Chains A and B, each alone.
Chain A
Amino acid sequence: MGVSSVLCFTSLISFCGFLLVALPGSVAAAEPLRIAITSVLVEHYLDVNRQWVAYVGEKLGRPTELVQRRSYKEISDLLQQGQVEVAFVCGLPYVIDRAKFGEELLVAPQVYEEGPVYYSYVIVPSDSRVERFEQLRGKRYAFSDPLSNSGYLVPTYLLAGMGETPSGFFKRYIFTYSHSANVEAVAVKLVEGASVDSYVYDYLAATNPALTSRTKIIQRSPPHGITPLVIRKETSRRLKEQIRKVFLEMHEDPKGREILKTMMIRRFVVVPDSLFNSIREMRRVVERQPLPLALQPAATRK
């Protein structure tokens, strides 16, 4: 096979790739815009997610489709493969994927007054005697997703600071792939402690106080960049702008405002990539540990 034929083949591939990428934008009316989320944030959140996804389609004037997967890993794969255009992903998968295949930040929700940030809570059962994270040594602990910042990176960063790894520190740890599941696992005492996304916890405290009242927060991390909405790098600039505009103006639209209120989000804002530098730093620290960062969704067992 000669260079020309290689070039030719490459061109063909590129053309096909162009077609794949450009087609959704050009034949907008036929192809639905796919938006992916995980259940990591809140289980049983489907109805609210459908609402805002439908809202976006309505504003764009084209159909939208909600794609839901269990883990961030699966979402990252979908983004990389171009099977979805837009996704809600945690800051950690963002910084990994950005470095890996160059996805772009679209907007981020502002939940707290401080800005588009959130925290990682360490929670224990409400009647637990544990008051500090260090006291959870030798106990059962729950993480959410191995690619979750608040549900995994922040606690392993804490452990790294103590010169510990999860398997060395805890008697047993599990992945629930859901922050709300973490809250429930603590509430029913399946585990004796868990790390959860502050936005999810606060949302549950407002909507299901019976559940959160059986738990208590013993530690709150410093602020980190909140779970952003990302878009494939390959998506047309025009569509990117259109979508971004929908989100940024959502709080000014009555229907959009209603949806935001339900989601307990003040508004969507444009965020810089530097917002996630703290995550990059923690990742660097943790990766220096002898234990490789768990990128696979299988839990380890002591």
Chain B
Amino acid sequence: MTGFIKPLRRWGLGQKLSATLCILVFGVALLISFFVMGHEERALDAELRHRGSNIVRTLARLSVEPVLQDDPWGLYKVARDIVRSENVMVYAMVLDPRGDVFSHSDPARFPIGEPLPTDPLTSAALTAEGLLIQVGRDPAGETVYHVTLPIVLDGQRLGVARIGVTRRYLEGSLTRLKRDVFVISALLAALGMALGLVISRRMTRSLERLSASVRALSQGRLDEWILVETKEKDEIGLLADSFNQMAESLRERIREIQATKRYLENLLENANDFIYTLALGGTFTYVNRKFLELGYAKGEFIGRPASAFLLASGDGRAEGNGREAFEARLQAKEGAERVVVVTTSPLRDNEGAVVGTLGLAKDITERKELEQRLLRSEKLATIGEMAGAMAHEIRNPLGSIYTAVNLLSVAPERPIREEQLVLLKTIRDETMRLNRILTDFLRFARPRSPLFRPHDVNGLVEEVLAALRHDEAARGNAVYKELDPRLGPIEVDADQVKQVLWNVVLNSLQAVGTDGNVVVATAREDGTAKIRVRDNGRGIPGEELSRIFEPFQTTKGGGMGLGLAIVQRIVEAHGGRITIASEEGKGTLVEIHLPIRRS
């Protein structure tokens, strides 16, 4: 049973409805036909008995005269005509009182004057006193009603009229009735089926559109969603209306959610901090766009352990669940690593179970540098105060020494020896050197504010290079100029800029030795005046390079190591910036950018 029903469940609504209507109509038709045919059969049976009785009465009445006249031919005609006139008739006959055939509708088989073959039915018929209906069967098995009536005139029995009526035509009409009922039932069933199909087609058309819309909605294809329109306001129509409202509001909700999601993604993606999520194993599951600044593609992070990129200082861990911040370094593919402060928090699912880590790393590289610079400034300021006071104190006796040595060597009271003169000169030179160092020192320790006036930077370069030609340190080395004539005048403090150029070019000249060369170039670039000084000298080792602008850093004898510290201070005071790139054994490049317009 289940095996029979199971495939039916897969039927469409139309098939089910059609089949139900078909079975219903057919069943009702069969039921009706069963009752109708039963009734019809009884009615026809009664009709047949009634007709048989009437016919036999007619035969008996018409037989009186031919029997009296001993006219078998006349009687034969009566019997013949009765049999011919009624399709239910099998035979008609009249028997004489002895039971011999007086006349029969089939005289060839039942000759006149011959006794009728005796059988129980005939014997009973011969002695019948009144109307007698006997039911028998013909050789073909059909039911035959034998109807007998005595022919009586004035109380005298003249003979017996007897007829046979068959049910064959009754069966025929019943068969026709059955066939008609079947055909009509089949037609009605077909009509029912067609009707079912039509109704279900109308229903399923709406349902199919509903279904397609639901599919489109469920797959997120919001634009493919169709408005389900139904003219009928039946249950399906109401369902379609409800669905339309639901779909409309759902679409609104989904759009809101998508907008919110985009907004949140924007927030995350465009945040100025490194935001990431980690799986429980500590591998990246999400990184925001900020991570691209490290030079990697997003795909290079996803699935890889955080520890490969995030090096925590101390005991902080990228996948930790503590809410305390810790400092760490983020490895960059190119360029300098970033210093970040990381805060982490557990990432939970809807049930509250921890499924990973949400991390936020704030880039504090700039702040860190600023802090160091401030620290350095404070240190320098303190040193400057002390050293300034000291230098001032040293300078006065130094001036007395210089004057005294000058007097001794220019107008001695007594002649002095050559050796003594050399010593005096040494004292004078060293005194001058000390004075220069002190001047540098004071300039660094007590910088003066730049005095901006329009100056031609190219001219300043020319002046510095001309002055350098007389400096012994520059002697024997070639300095090349590549000056951009479009540079034009810019507002600078000429003395301070010359000081910068002097220091930088002199450094390069000292670095190249006797067989190198130095190129000084100017150019106008992105609203700045760019001054490049390049040499092919010995270069600066990495460690020194990182601390190159720190004061008192020197690799040469005879200086306090304040040159580049002063240069940086002046450039920054001009609102510009200075960078130094160097490779050991190949040379160094110094780039100075000065703003053309002063705000």
On A, residues with C-beta under 8 Å from B are 140, 142, 171-172, 174-176, 181, 185, 188-190, 298-299, 301
Contact = CB atoms under 8 A, between A and B. Distances in A.
Nearest to A192: B111
Select the residue from B70, B73, B77 with max chain A CB neighbours within 10 A.
B73
B107 A299 contact: no
B76 A185 contact: yes
B555 interface: no
A176 B73 contact: yes
Nearest to B106: A188
21 contacts: A140-B112, A140-B113, A171-B113, A174-B70, A174-B71, A174-B112, A175-B71, A175-B73, A181-B73, A185-B76, A188-B80, A189-B108, A189-B111, A190-B72, A190-B103, A190-B107, A190-B112, A298-B69, A298-B70, A299-B71, A301-B70
A298 B70 CA distance: 8
Contacts of A176: 73
Contacts of A188: 76, 80, 107-108
A142 B107 CA distance: 14
B83 to A, nearest CB: 12
B96 to A, nearest CB: 11
Nearest to A190: B107
Chain B interface, >50% SS class: loop
A203 to B, nearest CB: 20
A185 B108 CA distance: 10
B109 to A, nearest CB: 9
Contacts of A185: 73, 76
Contacts of B111: 140, 189
Given A188-B108, A299-B71, 6 more contacts: A140-B112, A188-B107, A189-B111, A190-B72, A190-B76, A299-B69
Contacts of B80: 188
B73 to A, nearest CB: 4
Nearest to A139: B111
A85 to B, nearest CB: 30
B113 A172 contact: yes
Contacts of A181: 73, 77
> 9 closest pairs, A vs B, by CB?
A189-B108, A190-B107, A176-B73, A299-B70, A172-B113, A174-B72, A190-B76, A189-B107, A188-B107
A11 B80 CA distance: 56
A190 B76 CA distance: 8
A185 B80 CA distance: 11
Contacts of B70: 174, 298-299, 301
A172 B71 CA distance: 12
Interface residues of B, number: 14
Nearest to A188: B107
Interface in B55-71: 69-71
Contacts of B71: 174-175, 299
A121 to B, nearest CB: 18
A188 B103 CA distance: 12
A174 B69 CA distance: 11
Contact of B73 (A171, A190, A298, A301): A190
Contacts of A172: 112-113
B94 to A, nearest CB: 13
Interface in B97-116: 103, 107-108, 111-113
Contacts of B103: 190
A190 B73 CA distance: 8
A189 B77 CA distance: 13
A176 B69 CA distance: 11
A299 B112 CA distance: 15
Nearest to B74: A176
A246 B230 CA distance: 95
Nearest to B80: A188
A175 B80 CA distance: 18
A270 B330 CA distance: 158
A188 to B, nearest CB: 5
Q: Which of A176, A190, A301 has the most CB of B within 10 A?
A: A190
Interface string B539-570: 00000000000000000000000000000000
A176 B107 CA distance: 15
Interface in B154-207: none
A172 B77 CA distance: 18
Contacts of A301: 70
B341 to A, nearest CB: 130
A214 B111 CA distance: 17
A42 B17 CA distance: 72
| Interface core residue of A174, A185, A301 (most chain B CB under 10 Å) | A174
Nearest to B69: A298
Contacts of A174: 70-73, 112
Interface in B111-154: 111-113
B115 to A, nearest CB: 14
A298 B74 CA distance: 13
B73 A142 contact: yes
Nearest to A171: B113
B107 to A, nearest CB: 4
A189 B72 CA distance: 12
A188 B70 CA distance: 19
Contacts of B76: 185, 188, 190
Interface in B218-261: none
A211 B94 CA distance: 25
B529 to A, nearest CB: 142
B482 to A, nearest CB: 143
A189 B73 CA distance: 11
A143 to B, nearest CB: 10
A192 to B, nearest CB: 9
A260 B72 CA distance: 34
A151 to B, nearest CB: 13
Nearest to A302: B113
Contacts of B73: 142, 174-176, 181, 185, 190
B159 to A, nearest CB: 14
Contacts of A140: 111-113
A272 B222 CA distance: 124
A142 B71 CA distance: 11
Interface in B436-450: none
B585 to A, nearest CB: 144
A181 B108 CA distance: 16
Nearest to A142: B73
A246 B113 CA distance: 49
Contacts of B107: 188-190
A185 B69 CA distance: 18
Contacts of A298: 69-70
A9 B72 CA distance: 49
Nearest to A189: B108
A62 to B, nearest CB: 37
A296 to B, nearest CB: 11
B64 to A, nearest CB: 16
A239 to B, nearest CB: 38
A299 to B, nearest CB: 5
Nearest to B72: A174
B111 to A, nearest CB: 7
Nearest to B108: A189
A171 B73 CA distance: 16
Contacts of B77: 181
A221 B70 CA distance: 29
B337 to A, nearest CB: 130
A301 B113 CA distance: 10
A138 to B, nearest CB: 12
Contacts of B108: 188-189
Contacts of A142: 73
A145 to B, nearest CB: 12
Interface string B70-92: 11110011001000000000000
